[in-house]
Amino acid sequence: MEALIKEYAKRLKLSWVRQHYLEIEAKTNEEYLLRILERELQQREERKINLLFKQSSLPRITGKPFEWGHIQMGQGLTQDHILHGGFIEEKENLIFYGGVGTGKTYLSTLIGLHAIQKQGKKIKFFTVAGLVNRLLDAHETGSLSRFFNQIEKLDLLILDELGYIPLHKQGAELLFQIISMCYERKSIIITTNLQFGQWNHIFGDPILTEAVIDRLIHHSHLIVFNGESHRYKESLLHGK
C-alpha cells in the first residue's frame, strides 16, 4: 500500500505528500487531509518564490533598512506605494535619478524582493548595458522573438545604470522596442545619473530619445536621490 500511495502522489505531483505523509498526526480524517494539503501548498508556494528569485537576477543586498531621508518623491507618492507594489498594479513607472552610490540600485532591488515575496510578481533585473548585449546576441542568433516573449511575461522590469555607457544605434533601437513593449502593460524602474536633457548622449538620436522619454514619463514617478555616495562614506569610515 505504501508503494501505491507514493506512486499516486507522484502522478498527482504531490511531492511533499509522497515524502512526508506518514509524519502527519491528526485526530480525524478531515484534520489529516487539511494538514497534509496545507503542507503541500506551503511547499509549492516556497518553490514558486525561490524560482522567482532565481529568475529575477536581482543583486544580493544586505538586510539593512533603506534610508529614506535623502529621497525626494513627487506629490502623492508614498513609501508604501513604492515598497508594497502599488505602482506595479497601476502599471506605473519609477525613474530614480541621482549620483553614483546614492542608493538607487539598492532601493530598486528592495522593491523587486518585496514584489516577489509579498505578491508573487515576476521581476527581471538588468543593467542597461547587460540588457542591450542580450538583445544584440538574440538578434544575431535569431532568438529575439523568444526573448521578447520572456519580457512580455514580466510584471516589473528593472533597468539599472542608464547613462553610464552610450549605446550604439542598433542597441538603442532594440532597447526602445523593449520600452515600447512595456508601455502601459507593465512597470519599469529605471535608475540613471543623467537628467532627461542629457539622455540624447545615451541614445544618440534626438527623435529616438524623445520617443523613449515620452513613453517612460507617461504614468511615471520621478524620485530624486539627493544624498552623498554611501559607498564613498563607507570607504571613509573603514579607512579610519
> pLDDT per residue over 170-197, tens digit each?
999 999 999 999 999 999 999 999 999 9
Give the pLDDT confidence score for residue 113 in this predicted structure.
96
Report the chain's mean pLDDT, rounded to a whole number: 91
Identify which has the larger pLDDT, 64 or 219. Answer: 219
Decide: 201 and 230 in contact? Cβ < 8 Å. no
Per-residue model confidence as pLDDT tens digits over 110-144? 999 999 999 999 999 999 999 999 999 999 999 99
Can you spell out the DSSP letters for 43-95? HHHHHHHHHHHHHHTPPP--SPPP--TTEE--TT--HHHHHTTHHHHTT-EEE
Predicted pLDDT at 232: 40
Element (H, E) at 123: strand 123-127
